[in-house]
Amino acid sequence: MSPACIQSSCNLLASCFVVLFLVLLQTKVATSALIMSMRNHHNHHQHRMPMLQANQSSCAMFVGTWVRDESYPLYQSSNCPTIIDAQFNCQMYGRPDSDYLKYRWQPLNCELPRFNGLEFLRNMKGKSMMFVGDSLGRNQWESLVCLISSSVPQSSTKMSRGLPFSIFKFLDYDVSISYYKAPYLVDIDLCLTPVTGGTTRALSKDGITWNQEGTYYQDMDRMVAMERGLRTWANWVDSNIDTSRTRVFFQSISPTHYIPSEWSAGTTTATTTNCYGETAPISGMTYPGAYPDQMRVVDAVIRDMHHPPYLLDITMLSELRKDAHPSIYSGDLSPQQRADPVGSADCSHWCLPGLPDTWNQLFYAALFFQL
């Protein structure tokens, strides 16, 4: 007798992995440099370094350092109050420092174009895009909407928020930017066990939220489950996405900062117990801690796709930003929780304004520019 399965909102990758699946509908064809970038990355297995051309010299867009820039942030949270969730609004909820807002990503051998919301809307006129993922996808969706809105404050807009779907429309440009909550990207089911009456999680190997039901697997190794889930997603993309009308971007792992020994190794004894109290990025281009093993799975799955997405590899540059999390300055925390940074600090999500703005700047550069 097979167990009766009830769909759950749980996330396949759980605590070990977070992704963003970004679809752009009916966008322009990629530039030759961007096409070359994708070919270099996927055909020659150059992990984490899609290469763009800059004045006849190559630039590793996702490798570089954080530099202080007094012209940042690109918008103020007070100018985007209806968009930013309380969970991400660090300034509103009492974060006393602001230096974390003053850093710009500087890639090797090139300059990123400064994000221009008006140009974004002009280039995207009549088009739609969607973020699909977990709460970090929402984190970035809100960032992009705020970045654009700050450039066109008088533009007519319309927003609808709900679960699992939210959408923000720039009516004057016929541009819609939406977010679909799908933490696993594929279906995870909560299964009633006939013998014990309890529940277990089951990965729907062939299922995806907008796809048919499939075969179920239970109690597998997390890395195995992650690979099977990603291959289910990849097969769906290869089978269902019309690449002449749609571009797909896959964002890599967003890291957490709960273990200070990872970034203080080899220097001084850690003085904090998590990201609480961290006010500056890690200097240099590499993170002292281990690089996530899950990226090997991501690289392998994308390499095997017939129509590979553009990999926005934000993992290393984000690992350097131990200072950019909400910590205890989150509207989701009670006063009692704020008084307990050891047990309550949010070192997974990111403040807005903040790091996700850089993710969107990199996306903007990859989408529109031949550097």
In 3D, which of 149, 136, 246, 146 has the Cα closest to residue 185? 136
The span from the CA of 316 to the CA of 254, in Å, is: 9
Show the CA angle centred on residue 64, arms to residues 301 and 68, nearest 5°: 135
CB 50 within 8 A of CB 310: yes
H or E stretch covering 175: strand 175-181
**Known catalytic residue at 325:** no
Give Cα 218 distance to the centre of its chain.
27
Of the residues 135, 151, 155, 264, only one is catalytic, namely 135
Residue 349 bears catalytic tag = yes
Q: Which of 134, 187, 346, 357 is catalytic?
A: 346
Both tokens assigned to 258: 């709960």
What is the DSSP track for 42-72?
Answer: HHS--TT--EEEETTEEEETT-EEEEE-TT-
The two tokens of residue 363 are 């996306």
Query: Active-site residue among 41, 42, 257, 349?
Result: 349
Pairing mode, if any, of strands 186-192 and 199-208? Answer: antiparallel
Catalytic residue list: 135, 346, 349
